[in-house]
Amino acid sequence: MKLKVSNVKFGYNSTPVLDDISFELNSSEIIGIVGPNGAGKSTLIRCIDNILKPLQGSILLDGADINAMARMEIAKCMGYVPQTTHRVFPATIFDTVLMGRRPHLGWKSSDQDIDIVLEILELLGIMEFAMRDFNEISGGQQQKVLIARALAQDADILLLDEPTSNLDIRHQLEVMNIMKDIVHKKGISAVMAIHDLNLASRYTDRILMMNGGRIFAAGDPESVLTNKNIKRAYGVEALVKSDGDKPYIIPIRPVN
């Protein structure tokens, strides 16, 4: 499935947030959206999922405008992982992940739906919490449950807003490795807003660097994650090195 974002603008009241955003997402591709706080990363993810309505421009899925699609139809195509979650009604981890199957359910869940949920719980290492209440587990564990719920949707596109924000280093790497494997093995794609430039460098195929609501730079990690771009977008002097494959970034000092 192909996602095409064309000339999207969005703002809250008189405050512009996104200005003329355009890009395309291909199958088996992970796009990382990076940029300083307030650059518009999360807002862009929400616009793509039709949670927010752009003031201008279009978002197309295989040529179909998402504004003309029903919410359940969009959910079959795109799975969304929010940056944070509000407390939800009491539900077990299993039932929370099973909610991701809703776009595919009839009157009740099938054995296939249950098997899919169990497989995903095992994949993300949260099977032992399956019967725990969602509200009783840690923020990091909740984040993995939300990722599991999105994977249960069996969508062609995953939209992730800071998916590793509540995870420690080990679990960040575990989740990012799982996401990369799933995207490439299943031939699906992902758009991921992410703060950590080193994770973006290592796990994405292409990077959109945003600043001031616009795409500041776009391309592969090597061409986008340069000292010059980081300095201009973040106001930070950084040392950019290469391990022979992907660049890695060492922040040095803020630039006045």
Note the pLDDT tens digit of each residue in 108-126. 788 899 999 999 999 888 9
pLDDT at residue number 186: 86
Q: What are phi and psi of 161, to 5 degrees?
A: -105, 100
Q: How far is CA 76 from the centre of its chain?
A: 16
For position 229, which CATH number holds? 3.40.50.300
Which residue's entry shows tokens 């600043």? Answer: 211
pLDDT at residue number 85: 67
**Distance in angstroms (rounded) separating the CA atoms of residues 142 and 137:** 6
At residue 107 the predicted structure's pLDDT band, cuts being 50, 70 and 90, is: low
At residue 105 the predicted structure's pLDDT band, cuts being 50, 70 and 90, is: confident
Task: Tell me if 217 is assigned to some domain.
Answer: yes
Task: Tell me if 162 is assigned to some domain.
Answer: yes
Render pLDDT for 159-212 as a digit per residue (tens, 0 to 9).
999 988 878 898 899 889 988 998 988 889 999 999 999 999 999 999 999 999
pLDDT at residue number 106: 62
Give the predicted TM-score (pTM) of the model: 0.91
Task: Tell me if 143 is assigned to some domain.
Answer: no
Task: Tell me if 123 is assigned to some domain.
Answer: no
Token pair of 239 as six digits: 């040392």
Task: Tell me if 150 is assigned to some domain.
Answer: no
At residue 86 the predicted structure's pLDDT band, cuts being 50, 70 and 90, is: low
User: Among 240, 227, 192, which Cα is nearest to 29's?
Assistant: 192
Q: What are phi and psi of 98, to 5 degrees?
A: -60, -25
Contact 202, 222 (CB under 8 A): no
Task: Tell me if 230 is assigned to some domain.
Answer: yes
200: domain range?
3-81+156-254
- Asked whether the predicted pLDDT for residue 148 surpasses 80, the reply is yes
pLDDT at residue number 16: 92
Q: How many separate domains does the chain show?
A: 1
Token pair of 138 as six digits: 């840690």
At residue 239 the predicted structure's pLDDT band, cuts being 50, 70 and 90, is: very high
Measured from the Cβ of residue 13, the count of other Cβ atoms closer than 10 Å reads 5
